[in-house]
Amino acid sequence: MKLVQIIFPIGAVKQGFYLSLLTLDQIINEAGYKGLFKMLLGLILFWHIYVPFHELLHVVGCLLCGGEVESLNLKPQYGGLILHKLFPFVIPESDYAGQLTGFTTPNSWAYASVDLFPYSLSFFGITLIEYCRRKKMAFLLGLGIILTFVPFMSVPGDYYEAVSLATSKVGEAIHPSLPPVFLVSDDLFRFIEQLWEAGNLDWMVGILIFLGLMLAVYLAFLTFAFQVWISNLFFGHD
């Protein structure tokens, strides 16, 4: 594989989307509404299992990088009440499905690792979709879809927060009066709203936010391409 194919993995991205659509089409054509129902049921069930695992992997990533965890907010519907009994730092309430709200890391690299560590599960998303296609497993396809596409859902969240650690440093270098990690946020849309209401959304901040968003999108596509490369190792590339 050439370096340019790794930096700009257009072929892998196309292959991943094609395989995903092919699998969905095959499930529906061969099993009809029954297959579609099984897939949707799998999506709902596995989503409620995936969310707490995802949030706990943020915690694991933090601890592995030498950080400390004080609080993890998690809605009761995603096991917040149960996990609170097992892990005292879990708070069974959140404005989101879940959010690591209280933690410290030794440096920015560790912070970014905390953001991105849960997406290591997604590395095998396309592999699972291909497995479901070959074995005609509509129910398990729900999990494959979640693992595969959750990075795109997280572009304005974890992915933006990870890259905003770098764009914040750029902003501080250009404009020393900016407070440290000024641009860091795990909710880009709410962050922009807050900046607008406070009158802090000037042209430079806007450019840095846009740059961070584009880098977050690129990382999500790179994660997607990595899934395809791993799938090709298992199943080959037709």
78: confidence class by pLDDT, cuts 50, 70, 90: very high
Between CA 85 and CA 133 the distance in angstroms is 39
- Per-residue pLDDT of 203-212, as tens digits, reads 888 999 999 9
Between CA 150 and CA 172 the distance in angstroms is 31
With a CB cutoff of 8 Å and minimum separation 6, the contacts of 105 are 62, 65, 66, 67, 111, 113, 114
Could you tell me which residue, 29 or 1, shows the higher pLDDT? 29
Mean pLDDT of 161-171: 92
Report yes or no: 93 and 73 within 8 Å, Cβ to Cβ: yes
pLDDT over 70 (residue 80) = yes
* pLDDT for res 8: 84
Structure tokens at 98: 């879940």
Report yes or no: 58 and 162 within 8 Å, Cβ to Cβ: no
Mean pLDDT of 64-89: 95
91: confidence class by pLDDT, cuts 50, 70, 90: very high
Between CA 65 and CA 211 the distance in angstroms is 27
Tell me the CA end-to-end span of the chain in Å, nearest whole number. Answer: 16
Count of C-beta atoms within a 10 Å radius of residue 177: 6
Q: What Å distances lie between residue 144 and 15, 131, 227, 229, CA to CA?
A: 16, 9, 11, 16
pLDDT over 90 (residue 85) = yes
Report yes or no: 97 and 51 within 8 Å, Cβ to Cβ: yes
Count of C-beta atoms within a 10 Å radius of residue 37: 13
Render the burial of 54-66: b for 16+ CB within 10 Å, e for the rest. bbbbbbebbeebe
Q: What Å distances lie between residue 83 and 4, 76, 90, 158, 217, CA to CA?
A: 44, 9, 6, 22, 32
Residue 238, SS3? coil
Count of C-beta atoms within a 10 Å radius of residue 195: 18
* pLDDT for res 198: 85
List, in sequence order, every beta strand (DSSP E) within the chain: 68-74, 90-91, 98-104
* pLDDT for res 238: 58
Q: What Å distances lie between residue 213 and 37, 119, 165, 167, 210, CA to CA?
A: 35, 18, 12, 10, 5
pLDDT over 70 (residue 144) = yes
96: which DSSP letter? S
Structure tokens at 207: 């450019």
Q: What percent of the chain has pLDDT over 90?
A: 82
